[in-house]
């Protein structure tokens, strides 16, 4: 099996899903250090799990080590989902109801 190589610019606007199948958002830009990709800025798009979690924020930065695969889509670890405490989760649930 050959290794597929992609340009960073080919990944912009790519759909991002968690490893359990939830639509997370779209790649907005990359964060590059001197020689490698450090992370990805994922924008919260309408109807994404990310937009439901972070409300008014525009997106999050996902460290590259949490990216599991990049092909036609990007798959990230669910560990990249922002953590909330129980009080914040209850507030989010009340806002949605």
Residue 92 neighbours by CB under 8 Å, 6+ apart:
52, 53, 55, 84
Question: Cβ contacts of residue 23 below 8 Å, gap of 6+?
Answer: 15, 16, 17, 47, 48, 49
CB atoms within 10 A of CB 27: 23
In the β-sheet with 74-76, what is the strand arrangement from edge to edge?
59-63, 37-43, 23-32, 15-18, 74-76, 67-70
Fold for the domain defined by 8-96: SH3 type barrels. (2.30.30)
Domain ranges of the chain: 8-96
pLDDT tens digits for range 3-19: 677 788 889 999 999 99
Q: Pick from 24, 38, 30: which is nearest to 9 by CA?
A: 30
pLDDT band at 46 (very low <50, low <70, confident <90, very high): confident
52 secondary structure, DSSP code: H
Entry pTM: 0.74
**What pLDDT is attached to residue 97?**
46
pLDDT category, 47, cuts 50, 70, 90? confident
Q: Is the pLDDT of residue 36 over 80?
A: yes
């Amino acid at each position: 099996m050959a290794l597929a190589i992609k340009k960073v610019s080919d990944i912009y606007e790519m759909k991002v899903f968690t490893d359990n199948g939830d639509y997370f958002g779209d790649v907005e830009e990359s964060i590059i250090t001197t020689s490698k990709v450090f992370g990805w800025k994922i924008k919260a798009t309408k109807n994404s799990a990310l937009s439901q979690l972070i409300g008014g924020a525009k997106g999050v930065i996902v460290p590259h080590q949490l990216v599991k695969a990049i092909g036609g889509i990007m798959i990230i670890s669910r560990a990249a989902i922002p953590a909330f405490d129980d009080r914040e989760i209850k507030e989010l649930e009340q806002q949605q109801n």
